[in-house]
Amino acid sequence: MSETSWVTKAVIPVGGMGTRFLPATKAMPKEMLPLVDRPVIQFVVEEAVEAGLTDVLFVTGRNKNALENHFDRSTEVENLLESRGDATRLSEVMKATSLANIHYVRQGDALGLGHAVLKSRQHVGHEPFVVLLGDDVMEIEDQLLRDMLDAYREYNATIIALIEVDPDQIHLYGCAEVETTSDAQLVRIKNLVEKPQTGTAPSNLAIIGRYVLKPEIFDVLENTKPGAGGEIQLTDALKVLAQDDKIAGPVFGFIYKGKRYDTGDKLGYIQAVVEMALQRKDIGPALKQWLKQFGGG
Ligand code: UTP
């Protein structure tokens, strides 16, 4: 079992097909949909950087060009803004290019999240690392990832973010069977079930898209067979670790109470856009006024 070491690497799988958002995602990854004027993926990368991670690996699929271009320089756009003296927009545009050291690996066939994570093996090497799902957006001020990394360092454990959901929603998530610990925010995970059938879920604690993982997960993923939906599931590999702490130590769940948006889901996406727009100084007041008049039906 490895000693705790400093975590610097973030792996962000963006290779999914985004079927829930078709046809918008036919030619563009869902992670490039804008939340007001920044693509979803930029919020996720900013969260990783805010938590102290300096190296980002995207595991990409088809249509990765827009995403790659977003994190690259665009001299054409930069020159235009410079010639107009538009320093505000210029700094917004430049921000994405200097956030972190960004790398890419192709997933090939989209065989599931577990498969996407396995594709990061060579880049990650024998180090602990963080996985952030590219369509899951957290309130950055809540510092979820920072807290998870603190828990990792304290317990030398795999740490998975969990939220409490309505029991009738748990079948949409990976679900954790847990034991409490002396820390109210941390639970010991005893078992995991991906998308449990209604009435069979061991709890209402759902896995969300933030994980602090140890490199031992890769060997387990190598041997993980397709599970729910015919996909190689990260949850199934984590279940193996949770049931045998000799492999990589214990698996803990960190219960997140803050705000989260599932932007891969149409309703979740619209909620994120409206809430973020309302918080903005430039358009928030006018949107609020309009929402009042509109009445929402
Ligand atoms: P999702 O199930 O939310 O993504 O996977 P999806 O498959 O793109 O979405 P729908 O259900 O078809 O609308 C969770 C995360 O795992 C990534 C996705 O990009 C998303 O960030 N993923 C999933 C991969 O990178 N590769 C895969 O083979 C599957």
Structure confidence by residue, pLDDT tens digits, 177-205: 999 999 999 999 999 998 998 889 999 99
Integer Rg of the chain from CA: 20
Residue nearest to atom 2 of ligand 1 (CA): 16
Q: Whose CA is nearest to atom 18 of ligand 1?
A: 16
Q: Tokens 């949770």 correspond to what residue?
A: 242
Segment 106-130 mean pLDDT: 96
Distance from the alpha carbon of residue 289 to the mean position of ligand 1, in angstroms? 36
**Look-up of token digits 């609020």:** 288
Give the start-to-end residue ranges of the domains of the chain: 9-264
What is the CA 18 to chain-centroid distance, rounded? 14
- Measured in angstroms, how far is the CA atom of residue 124 from the centroid of ligand 1? 20
Determine the pLDDT at residue 66. 92
pLDDT tens digit string along 238-289?
999 999 999 999 999 999 999 999 999 999 999 999 999 999 999 999 999 9
Residues with CB under 6 A from ligand 1: 13-20, 59, 107, 110-113, 115-116, 133-135, 264
SS3 262: strand
- Mutational test site, ligand 1, from 20, 113, 195, 207, max ligand atoms within 8 Å of CB: 113
Q: Are 102 and 56 in contact, with CB atoms under 8 Å apart?
A: yes
Superfamily for domain range 9-264: Spore Coat Polysaccharide Biosynthesis Protein SpsA; Chain A (3.90.550.10)
Compute the distance from residue 108 Cα to the ligand 1 centre, in Å.
13
Residues contacting 121, CB < 8 A, separation 6+: 218
- Chain segment 39-54, per-residue pLDDT in tens: 999 999 999 999 999 9
> What's the CA gap between 110 and 178, in Å, rounded?
30
pLDDT of 257 reads 96
Position in ligand 1 atom list of the atom nearest CA 16 = 8
Q: Are 271 and 261 in contact (CB under 8 A)?
A: yes
Residue 251 Cα to ligand 1 middle (Å): 23
Give me ligand 1 centre to Cα 217, in Å. Answer: 19
